[in-house]
Amino acid sequence: MKTITAYKCNKCGLVMYPYHDRCLNCKGRDFKEIAPTSKGKLLTYTVIEQLPWGMDERGRVLGVVEFDNGVKALGLIKDDAPRIGMKLKVNWEPVREMGGEEIFGLTFVKTK
Amino acid sequence: MDMEVEGYLRPPEMDLPPYPPKVVTLATGGKLIIRQASRADVPILLEAVRPTMKVERDFYDIVGARVYAELLGWYRHRVRDEFCLMGQIDGLLVGVVNTRLYSRELGISLHTLATERGLRIGAHLFAAKMEYSFEYIGQEEVLITAESPIGFRRWMIEYELIEREGQHELGGATPYGLTKELYYKHKDRLVAGERPVPEELLAVAEKEIIVASEDDILEKILGAKRRER
Amino acid sequence: MRPVVVAGVGMIPFERRDEDSLMDMLATAGLNAMDDAGLGDRPIDSVYVGNMASGLFNHQVSVASALVDRLSLLPAAADRVENGPASGGSAIKNGFLAVASGFNDVVLVVGGEKMREVIGPKATDIVACMTHPQAEYIYGVTLPAMAGMFARLYMEKYGVTREHLSMVAIKNQTNGLLNPYAHIQMKITMEGILSHPQSHINSPVVADPIHLYDCCPVSDGAAAVLLTTEEIANKLKKPLVTIDGIGQATDTHTLQERSDPTDLKAVTLASEQAFKMAGIKPKDIDVAELHDAFTILEIAESEHAGFFPKGEGAKALERGETQIGGKLPINPSGGLKARGHPVGATGVAQVVELVWQLRGEAGERQVKGAANGFSLNFGGFGNNVLAFVLRRKS
């Protein structure tokens, strides 16, 4: 499955996403590219009722997910009753259309 | 008036059930009374509509001119099956909405004109006319369009309006449908109001439909007048 | 560094100003500040314009060059400063450094934004352009959404309730009624926005738990300050108010990379720097203008800036300590909530309000005897923050 690329600092081990040119912790410049694991937990979320121009929908749930390997990322939560701490499984799907083109990103559904 | 000729000119009319008045508590804590306007109320309503016809901002001029014509047409029996609801705060008229029935099943939403801004008066009045169409008249669908961009896309999204074929009665724009099903789906989120209206509140509203001065109406819809320092 | 005086301040009322272009607004605010200082035809060395997104909102760039031309300040140096919603604060910082360093003697700083040229959802999109393009923007994140994710954690951790958020909204809209420059001139009630069973229809969810009345409006507006040396200011007519402290700090671009997303580190650091530079403490402040783009931010910032311990901001609010007449009036101007938030103008408008307060010119909303003021301009979602300490010289 296609997914995001996160970065693990080769010097101090800090896991980062998105990309930084120097480690946020130790200023190191060498990173190992890592993929997030398939599962994670929800750290916080919001239900957006007023989306930007071009997104004709209501009730889009966005949340920050911490994957089991420590990667943290924002994504689209496909669940009507989100709660902090819920276990989620990741997918890579269209999240928005921009200029007639489908943009792919992280989506999440509930899992055990 | 030659009623024999009038008989040919006047469109037929359906009997509509009454719209029971309701009270909406606004963000200010103020009480907005929404109730049905009768034909006899039209001349006073026109006084409040007239100043808006001069305001280009947000297409108030087009909306005002059309509402004026629609209400006058209803008053003098030249519009078929139109109804009008009005909003009052402490007796003061703050907005009118109207719809025309194409048939018992299908409504054509005409206009929402608020002469007080920032209190969601327009939103409450629009919701009230949908409430009347679906809950009291028992319509299946209402066709909607708008001249002003203010909020229209937001309302399309809020009510999940469905794009329909053909032309809307207002200028031939694309009509968007609100179905009975969608109305009930979104009702709790969008339709406010309590019944019965406490007697003393209703008495104030019914005693007199107060129309603000032209200056006050223009000031409200153009934004508050400011003291430059 | 030599002391820097705010010798003149100017503003135009924030509202929806269809009739004015961005340049009309910047020019009027700038002239108001020049006239307030009594500058006459004395030359101005540099002009800094705080503006976030004129290219996107108004299809015009290089607005500082255009402004010096409009104001006939040629050949003054001119720079536009873009730093998101902290553009105004950053412009003042640049103006301050120019005077403090001796590089310039007289500097005009103008902040402005014309946002209502586009409809609401488009403004939401333009403002969202400050988020991370790949890690945030593509998901449809908005600034209210960032505030929603922050508020959910903050409220749970510190026991802040929606009633507290509504109290901020009510307080600031009440203050706004006393400010002729405020966009929103409407008194709201707890019943109308929270406690009535149908209040959710008046104040619908924007990005849960942030509701409509937790958000600042989208406004057009501009504000300006004229900065100069003590020597020149003494020749002008206004009581001296100086910028004694400035702090600025940054934090991660995305919320998710903060080890504790409820910790607004940049607010803490910027405030500490400003207080240290001014040589006074939070308890010495008589009036504060905080960046309440969302009601939760006023509470969180009042704690992170050092006025209250963490978790105590909401309690101080409950006790009325942050009202005009309270121990520390916060946002007597109405804040962003009522004055409005034309993004590039806000940081400047906050300083303008402080100057009026410290001079005793704030009219009905005057905080009695205010001598020390503090303002906080919050950029991004807390990833670039400026703090200012202003003092009246007796």
Say what the pLDDT of residue B224 is: 58
Distance, in Å, from the CA atom of C248 to the CA atom of C82, rounded to the nearest integer, reads: 15
Question: What is this model's ipTM?
Answer: 0.98
* Residue B193 in tokens: 């109001």
Residue B110 located in a structural domain = yes
CB C261 within 8 A of CB C154: no
- Could you list the mean pLDDT of each consecutive 10-residue stretch along chain B, which spans 229 residues? 89 95 97 98 98 92 96 96 98 98 96 92 96 98 86 81 92 93 96 97 97 92 56
Contacts of C261 in chain A (CB under 8 A): 43-44, 64
Total structural domains in chain B? 1
Ranges under pLDDT 50 in chain C: none
Nearest residue to A48 via CA among A37, A35, A62? A62
Cβ of A50 within 8 Å of Cβ of B154? The answer is: yes
| Interface residue A50 vs chain B (CB under 8 A) | yes
Domain enclosing residue B136, as ranges:
20-222
∠ Cα B118 B123 B128 (to 5°): 140
pLDDT of residue B225: 54
Please report which helix (H) or strand (E) contains residue B68, including its range: helix B60-75
Helix or strand holding residue C335 (H, E):
helix C335-339
Q: What pLDDT does B226 receive?
A: 44
What does the alpha-carbon distance between residue C96 and residue C189 come to, in Å, rounded to a whole number? 41
Q: Which amino acid is at C192?
A: G
Which chain B residues touch C189 with a CB distance below 8 Å?
Answer: 27-29
Residues of B in contact with A57 (CB under 8 A): 157
Alpha-helix residue ranges (DSSP H) falling in B132-225:
152-159, 180-190, 199-207, 214-222
Mean pLDDT of chain C: 97
DSSP codes, C222-278: EEEEEEE-HHHHHHSSSPPEEEEEEEEEE--SSGGGSSSTT--HHHHHHHHHHHHHH
Q: Is residue B228 part of a domain?
A: no
Does any domain span residue B15? no
Name the β-bridge partners of A74.
Answer: A64
Does residue B197 lie in a domain region? yes
Q: Do C192 and B190 touch (CB under 8 A)?
A: no
What is the SS3 assignment for C144? helix
Q: For C191, which residue in chain B has the nearest alpha carbon?
A: B29
The CATH class, in words, for C4-119+218-233 is alpha beta
Interface check for B156 against chain A (CB to CB < 8 A): the answer is: yes
pLDDT on residue B229:
31
**Phi, psi torsion values for C38, nearest 5 degrees:** 70, 40
Q: Do A58 and B153 touch (CB under 8 A)?
A: no
**Across residues A89-108, what is the average pLDDT?**
96
Task: Read off the CATH number of the domain in which B109 is found.
Answer: 3.40.630.30
Token pair of B156 as six digits? 């399309």
Which chain B residue's Cα is nearest to A55? B157
* Chain A interface disruption, residue of B157, B158, B189, most A CBs within 10 A: B157
pTM of the model: 0.96
Of A18, A43, A45, the CB nearest to C135: A18
- Asked if the C-beta of B153 comes within 8 angstroms of chain A's C-beta atoms, the answer is yes
Element (H, E) at B172: none
